Chains A and B, each alone.
Chain A
Amino acid sequence: MDQSTRTEADTVLEDNPPDARGARRWLAEQSRPVRLLMLAATGSGLLAGWITIAQAGLIAAIVHALVVQGTDRNALMVWFVLWLLTIPLRSLLMALREHASLHAALGVRRRLRQRLSRHIMDLGPIGVRQLGQGRVSSVLLDQVNALEGYYARFLPQLPLSLLVPLSVLVVVFLLDWLAALLLLFAAPLIPLFMALVGMGAATVHRRQFQALERLSSYFLDRLQGLETLRHLGRGGATVVALQDNADKYRRRTMSVLRVAFLSSAVLEFFSSVAIAMTAIYIGLGLLGYLTLGPAEQLTLFSGLFILLLAPEVFSPLRDLATHYHDRAAALGAATGIRELLDASSPARPRSGQKTVSTIAPFLELDGVTVSYDQGGAAVLRELSFEVPAASTTLLTGPSGSGKTSLLMVLLGLLDPHEGQVRINGIAVPELAPGALEARVGWLGQNPRLLPGTIRENILLGRPDAPRAALESAAREAGVLRFTDRLPDGLDTRVGERGSGISGGEAQRVALARALLRDPPLLVLDEPTASLDPESRGIVLDVLQRMHGQRTQVIATHQPAQFPWADRRVELAAAEVGTQHHG
């Protein structure tokens, strides 16, 4: 199992050329609505930088006065007090900067979550399944969060890493142009090296991000099936496999970090050496050993001032470097987020004006062809038939023949690749948004219940239904038969996927939910497939009673259960194959 995990992971990595420029532009666009906050963050950072320069000047002046001029401490009281005042001011500005940039980052995150969540709902079940549920939830939850560091730390620091060193260099230049030149020589080399190292780091980081995603989905997979693995006697083997996988991930990550940390090591090295060089230059200049340029004019004040400023040329760059992984993480996340946002919905949003009446409709399918992949094998090919109003039509055919896909088309969750579906003569794309959904009742093979009470689940499609309507739907669907036995009745809580009640009971809840909406069109996917006789009897009963009042389309393996059905459409087996994922 490990081997194929590895091979698949590797192909995915190789097949995705990075669109770093596109990702960068996209990241920049996202920050546009919060640019005032960004500006505030950068502004207060710059002011704090200037105060740091002033503090260095004060310290140098005080030491110079004390040591060289032998001035009395009391005579310097004004300077001491001034220095004291700058201390809280600088801290305040730093706090302001943090505050503004975090607000900016959260603003981007809020906007993006709103957009992504809307898009995911538009993609619907088919679109989400095509992308992979794990991937979709990871983009919405983890990758959006991975952007925070970029907007909260990296982006506000970017202009500061230029402006603060520049301000410092101007001051040093005024004090001693040769020292400024020394620092200037080291400073521009740093971005150059960082760019060189950073280019590699971004690619490797993206790979690491994917490796992490794979690792998490591997975990999910193994844990969800933990009981099965244990029953098959593979518990211990899985622990070993997990350890191997984690080791693999560690080696991968360390190879990223060895390179990524190189950029900060280069920076560290240059800043250390530049400070050392400056210190030695100033020392020799003060001793009078150096006669070139302005070295002879150096005083203890200017020398100490320069020494104190020298680290400030590099510390904003160092801050930027520590936030460099935020950028790399954001670029990786941006790729994932954009892929999700770019995924087109398998059912285009409808923008028509037309509605569907409450009377049982008639349906026409005209040359409907469905395939999940672009240019992939068709699941349904040029299918045409009619469903008269208030009739019951059975869809039969071997598994894999496209019955469920056809139902998805009827439900408007999947657009046919070619051909058309008409309801009461109106093509589906001409309907108003929600018009089709308002008139259709759906019952699937595996009833899906939401975590919550049984009552909430029945009310899902009609939250304002009167109590009497709810109870009559629950009675008709046989829900009351088992809820009467439960201490909390209809208010019994069920878990995800209906845990806590049996499959047949969950299907009855789903039936009650459909009935409560009183839909003129019922679409059912093997509604009795995994039911006990009692539940099956209830479902069949309800469907037979509705026959002649509602239009019903039922996919089934057991047409004999519906002897009263009017028509039967037999789907031929299409090519069965695996779908492509990722």
Chain B
Amino acid sequence: MDDLIEILRLHLKRWPWLLAGMLLMLATVAANVGLLALSGWFITATGLAGLALAAGGVMTLEIYRPGAGIRFFAVGRAVSRYGERLVNHEAVLRLLADLRVWFFRSLLPLDSDRLAQLRDGELLNRLTGDVDPLDHLYLRVAGPTLVAVVALLLGIGFLALWAPGMAMVIALILGITTLLCTVMTGLAGMAPARGLAESESRMREQVVGDLHTLAELRLYGATGERRENWLGSDEAHMAARLQLARQSAISQFTMQAAGQMAVWVAAFIGAGLLAVGTINGPVLALLLLATLALSEVLAPLPGGWQSLARIRWSAARLRQFATPQSRVPEPQSPAPVPTETRIELEGVSFRHSPWQHWCLHHVDLDVSAGERIALLGPSGAGKSALLALLLRQRDPEYGRIRIGGTDLRHLDRSTIDSLTSYLPQRTALFSGTLAENLRLASPDASDETLHELLAAVKLEHLVDTLPEGLDSWIGEHGSALSGGQARRLALARTLLKAAPQVLLDEPTEGLDRSTEKHILDRVDRWLTGRGLIIVAHDRHRLPPVDRVLRLEDGRLRRI
């Protein structure tokens, strides 16, 4: 239930829309009941009056007011139904936007490890698969249930005006069946709803992951087997889907039968009341038709409650994902932004997990502000880990790291981000233009600056050949660029960000020698007055630096 409270709170913020939607739903129901009941009364009354007239009797029947009433209910039903659908959809779309933004916002403070998981197929599944059905809480569950309860109470009260006993029996039949069906489908639907969500997300993960590795799958003849996996998940999904459908068919079957039974009971009891003269003929018709129209309100309830299981499951998964135990807790009262960027490591030890080697073992390092350092060493030696520690993506197991004299653990994340500009090994580009991707680092950068920067990373030829220059579209995650071009664009973006400390993780890997040399000769201009820590493999392929350090077996050595 906890999982739903957060979702409910988001719902309540939109209460005027929701209330308007429910009132319009109620108005539609009332108009429908009114139309049928009044018509039935009118026909029977006129029938009796006609017979009386034909028999030569005198009978006065006012026909204008009932006629106007019938027309009023008829038009009212159409208008309120249209309004109800528009208002409810508007409400749901607003809710959906709220839910998506809420989810995105709740991810913002997560630590890097958690965010790294988002890079792959799981992500789309979480968002479209789990966020979207949350709005059903109102549209399918809360809204129809509230409306049905109110309508049923009003309707029973209306019937009780003429026949309290009959109203009681009908209330019992409809009330008990609805309660039973709703609770039963809500509970029995849990397992298949979970199966449905799980198989769906499994298939999505499989497909998205396999599409990335399609070349390998083709060449190693594994496509058939992977395809079987996809279809297997789909079969599981369909099996859960059928199970849910069977349950909802049973409850619909029961609900429909109960509605018809209520009409039958109304007729049977009404016949008795008519015989003893408690009610007259027109009222009998009115009661019958009112019951008929009323029982239709309850039909969507079991189906709606069936979706509650799915909603709960989705909400629980989102919450579980968005609230992990952070390995790098934010400080309670963050220290002020340091005025300079001297970096000090004091007896720092770090390993990725308790069973692995120490990447860094009692490492001491002092980098004065503006100093340039190159970090070499075999892969897996912990060079990237050192950068991760400086960015406080992780905390060292022992020792401390200070920047400008302040312990990193006392700085909040945005301060550390504002002090550093970091090029990771795996960079993210965004759908958009070249200029937009660059300006993420500095929204006010002029076109001239961007051109100069692109020249420094040897992309000016690319910009010149593109028809729209800086405003050219670079595709989904920069997919219109080659791997090397994407790497260089990311490097340019890192250089553009105005932060006093630049951290580059193998910036020229995968580039050919001439491009690499071109870039290494030109980055200097963009680093003026800033500190640099560059991770590389080869000491002969570096920009000019003050010190070269080698990290091996957890220890730093100067070379």
Contacts and interface: CB of A to CB of B under 8 A. Distances in A.
A438 B211 CA distance: 21
B475 to A, nearest CB: 5
A132 B476 contact: yes
B35 A275 contact: yes
B124 A216 contact: yes
The interface centre, meaning the residue of A90, A225, A254 with most chain B CB atoms within 10 A of its CB, is A225
Contacts of A304: 40, 43-44, 47, 285
B533 interface: no
B313 to A, nearest CB: 18
B357 A485 contact: yes
Nearest to A250: B93
B431 A68 contact: no
A98 B249 contact: yes
A254 B90 CA distance: 7
A384 interface: no
Contacts of A576: 461-462, 465, 482, 485
Interface string B196-219: 000000011101111111111111
Nearest to A106: B238
B101 A8 contact: no
Interface string A451-467: 10000000011010000
Interface residues of A, number: 157
Given A117-B230, A134-B476, A532-B537, A62 B462 contact: no
B162 interface: no
B93 A254 contact: yes
A531 B219 contact: no
Given A230-B417, A280-B67, A460-B216, A219 B428 contact: no
B526 interface: no
A273 B204 contact: no
A503 B384 CA distance: 12
A392 B281 CA distance: 101
Interface string A281-305: 0111011100000000001100110
Given A411-B219, A576-B461, A95 B253 contact: yes
A129 B440 CA distance: 26
A332 interface: no
The interface centre, meaning the residue of B104, B250, B441, B474 with most chain A CB atoms within 10 A of its CB, is B104
Contact of B268 (A73, A137, A444): A73
A170 interface: no
Contact of A287 (B61, B94, B120, B254): B61
Q: Is the interface of A mostly helix, strand, loop or mixed?
A: helix
A497 B216 CA distance: 12
A216 B49 contact: no
Contacts of A437: 218-221
Interface residues of B, number: 163
A341 B204 CA distance: 20
A229 B221 CA distance: 39
A275 B39 contact: yes
Interface string B26-43: 000000000110011011
B238 A533 contact: no
30 contacts: A55-B260, A63-B267, A66-B271, A87-B264, A106-B242, A109-B234, A117-B230, A120-B211, A125-B214, A217-B476, A224-B477, A231-B391, A231-B417, A233-B418, A249-B97, A254-B93, A264-B85, A269-B78, A273-B74, A276-B35, A279-B42, A279-B43, A288-B54, A304-B47, A400-B484, A413-B218, A442-B215, A450-B216, A497-B120, A532-B380
A190 interface: no
Interface string B407-439: 000000110011010100101111111001000
Contacts of B264: 80, 83-84, 87
Given A227-B428, A304-B43, A141 B207 contact: yes
A242 B123 contact: no
Nearest to B208: A137
A137 B476 contact: no
Contact of A448 (B212, B461, B474): B212
A91 B43 contact: no
Contacts of B263: 59
A67 B46 contact: no
A461 B220 contact: yes
Interface string A190-223: 0000000000000000000000000011111111
Contacts of A442: 215-216, 219
Nearest to B510: A529
Interface stretch (B147-155, B183-191, B511-519): B511-519
A578 B227 CA distance: 32
B234 A413 contact: no
A393 to B, nearest CB: 18
Contact of B220 (A55, A142, A279, A517): A517
Contact of A141 (B35, B203, B217, B253): B203
8 cross-chain pairs, A with B, having the tightest CB-CB distances, nearest first: A532-B379, A67-B281, A461-B220, A225-B428, A246-B97, A300-B47, A279-B39, A272-B74
A228 B267 CA distance: 70
Interface stretch (B110-118, B330-338, B397-405, B444-452): B110-118
B204 A141 contact: yes
A238 B432 contact: no
Interface string A110-123: 10011001101100
Contacts of A531: 379
B527 interface: no
The interface centre, meaning the residue of B39, B81, B509 with most chain A CB atoms within 10 A of its CB, is B39
A578 B216 contact: no
Contacts of A253: 89, 93
A113 B236 CA distance: 14
A99 to B, nearest CB: 6
Contacts of A450: 209-210, 213, 216
A344 interface: no
A558 interface: yes
B308 interface: no
B227 to A, nearest CB: 5
Nearest to A89: B257
A276 B379 contact: no
